[in-house]
Structures are given as structure tokens and as C-alpha cells.
Amino acid sequence: MTDPRIDAGRLLGRLKALGDIGRDGDGRLTRLAASDADGAGRDAVAGWMREAGLEVLVDRIGNLFGLWQAGAEDAAPLMLGSHIDTVIDAGIHDGCYGVLGGLEVVQALREAGARPARPIAVAAFTNEEGVRYAPDMMGSLVYAGGLGVEEALATRGTDGTVLGEELARIGHAGPHEPGFLRPHAYLELHIEQGPVLEREGARIGAVENLQGISWQRVTIGGEANHAGTTPMSMRRDAGHAAARVVTFLRDRVSRGNSPTVATVGCMSFEPNAINVIPSRAVFTVDLRDPDEVRLRAEEVALVRHLDELAEMEGVTISVERLARFEPVTFDAGIVRLIEDAARRRGLRCRRMTSGAGHDAQMMARLCPAAMIFVPSAGGISHNPREHTEPADLVAGAEVLLEVVRTLTQGPG
């Protein structure tokens, strides 16, 4: 065989092409899970998989796979993957880089006439972002057995749609049972989505663990009343109580140098009228911490605050758990392989914790797993200004290629 080489033009070209699918009139990229735009993106990726000589397979939750048997049908496949669904007004690299980077690695190996000792599968998991349907990382969660496929397919979205119906509508409800390909190991290439690598001048992140995530929806019930005639002391203002929770979370996690992060991303008031005291406020709380004990402590502190607030403000408060994942530790052996590959290519590498949730945390339930990060300019992501230098995108794919070669070597 010849020495396999990453085709930078092909990789960057596909990232650009996929990033052009799902733009609105103002050029904003939004490719929510199981939407028409997601369907168009999936069709493009499946086409490239076939172009690379891979067999395209879809499971019941819509996870899309490109499989290269490589004449080693009996061995468990090495899986490379991520997702192609996006948040609202997104960048083009989040998730897509892992799918198209994995595809580029397999295509490079095939074109070089490589004979891997095991099949290699490229995976695009359904609904990783969780914007339209909760929980996030749903496709890989179902694939790893953490959530029943029927329950997942019945999930109702923020727009009232049902995931199963939407997957069928866009033609990506496949026949295979989630988990049908049992991986030997799982690797995910991803942009950091944080500022650490750039700040420290590192090109490659060898991700050794991942933060725990707690998602909750809080509903506060107060009393609608007239904004002009109701004395402040007699108000039961659900909107004001919600604001107190937002400032409480910020003040608490900002103190000292706790690694906990807390975000209130969704907020709505009812009746949402300028001259009516809000009778109802609904908002989400996203809590993350690499340490499970500390994450639990933050959840408990929130519950205590909500109890005090309900008492003090005369409001009712109910909490619904939307998602909860413990911190994950990746495979130490694969993390070392990533460091070695980066070192041999003269790329400054740093071990790190992933602040974001990724499909790799679900796949780690099934097999040894790890992630490779590349720098995000300014640490910005989930934003159209998300950017990674082309040279870094190519370097990450080259490190992945080398790790894949090591993990698919035959005996001797």
C-alpha cells in the first residue's frame, strides 16, 4: 500500500458544502434534528459515504452509518463519528467535522490500498444538540442502550412534532436496531468549542474526561394582576422569581474558582403582556461539572434556593428533569495513542476535559472511547462566528488517521 494521505481540499470542501445546507433567508444556518434541512444534510453525507465506497446503513432512531467491511467481517468495527444536526444560527464545524473527518480518514485508507484488520464505520448520530427534542445526544444514548428506542421515537419536540414521525417524513427512519454494530472502540474528532487550546497555543487536545451534565426545566406559578394598581408587597410575580433564580445561579457558580458552569438559555413569561404581572415563568437550567459530587451539590443548592423562593415570593415552583449524565472518563490507552500521534507530527498536544456533552460519552458505555479536539478561535461555538483554522482541521484529521491505523493493525 502507499502512504495514506488526508485530502485537505476534499475535507474542507465537504465541510463547506454541508454548512451551506439549512441556511435561511438571512444566511443563518439552522439544521435541527429530523427537520427538512437535516434530511438534506443526511442525504449529502450518505452520498459522500457511497462515493467513498462505504455501505450506508440507518438504524431505527435515524443514526446514519457508512461501513467499510475491509474483508474483516468477523472482527468488531472501529467506529469514528459525531453528529450533523445543529443549534439555531450555528457554525459549520460542530459535529460535522467529526463525521466528515472520519469519512476522510476511511477514504484515505481505502485509496491507499490499506488492509485494516477490522471493519471501520463512520457514524452520524441523531439529535446530538437536543434543541428540538430533549434529551440531547439522543441518538448515541439510544444506540448505547441508555434510552429505549420506542420512548425516544415518541419524544415531542419544542415545536409539537414527534421525532419518530419526523424521521419517517424525511426518510431517515432505518430498519436496523440501535446497537447493531458493536464497536471495538470509538473515536470522535471535534472542535473544542472552548478557549483552552487557543489560549495555551496547543494544536491538539487529547480528551481524557468529560463534564457531567444536568438539564432541568423550572416552572414558576404566580398570580396575574394589574401592573399599576397592585402594591409591590402584594405581588406574586412569577417573572421576578425567575429572575432571582438566574442571578442566584450566576452569583453562586461565579464565586471562588469553581469549575461549575450554569446557564439559563430558555425563558418565557405568561401572559407576557406589558401591563400584567406574570402569572407564569418557564425556564431551563443547564448545570455542568467534571466532578459528580460537586454537580450533585449544585443541584441540591438549586432545590434549596427554589424552596426558599417559593416561600418568600408566594409562588409555586415545579422542576422537571430533562437530562442528567454523570461525568465520563475516556480510555487511557487511546488518549496516550492520541498524544503519541500528535507528538510524532510535531503538534503541541494537551490533555483536557470536555466542557461540552458529546456522543463519545454515550459510546463510552459500549466500548473504549476517546476524543480529539482542535482549537476553536476565541472559544466561540454555537454561533455563526465559530471558526477553526483549516490547518488545524487538517492536523486533527491526520492525528485521527494515525490513531485509526494503530487501532486497526493486524496481529504482528
- Contacts with a second copy, residue ranges (CB under 8 A): 87-89, 129-131, 134, 136, 192-195, 211, 213, 215, 223-234, 237, 239-240, 242-244, 246-247, 250, 253-254, 261-269, 271-279, 281, 284, 286, 288, 322, 354-357, 379-383
Q: CB of 342: closest distance to a second copy in angstroms?
A: 20
Instruction: Judge whether 238 and 269 are in contact, CB under 8 Å.
Output: yes
User: What percent of the residues of the chain are helix, what percent strand, and what percent coil, each to the nearest 5?
Assistant: 35, 25, 40
Q: Which is nearer to a second copy, 13 or 265 (CB)?
A: 265
Over its C-alpha atoms, the chain yields an Rg (Å, rounded) of: 23
Q: Which is nearer to a second copy, 217 or 336 (CB)?
A: 217
| 242 Cα distance to chain centroid | 27
Q: Which is nearer to a second copy, 67 or 131 (CB)?
A: 131
Q: CB of 118: closest distance to a second copy in angstroms?
A: 32
- Concatenated DSSP letters of 68-103: E-TT-TTSPPEEEEEE----TT--S-TTHHHHHHHH
- Determine the longest span between alpha carbons in the chain, in angstroms: 84
Q: Which is nearer to a second copy, 44 or 276 (CB)?
A: 276
Q: Hey, what's the cell of 149?
A: 428506542
Q: CB of 117: closest distance to a second copy in angstroms?
A: 36
Q: Which is nearer to a second copy, 145 or 378 (CB)?
A: 378
Q: CB of 274: closest distance to a second copy in angstroms?
A: 4
Short-list 297, 40, 128, 328, CA closest to 209: 328
Q: CB of 91: closest distance to a second copy in angstroms?
A: 10
Q: Hey, what's the cell of 163?
A: 421525532
Q: CB of 137: closest distance to a second copy in angstroms?
A: 11
Q: For 137, left (φ over 0), alpha (ψ -120 to 50), or beta?
A: left
Pairing between strand 78-83 and 185-191?
Answer: parallel
Short-list 78, 141, 318, CA closest to 219: 318
Q: Which is nearer to a second copy, 276 or 367 (CB)?
A: 276
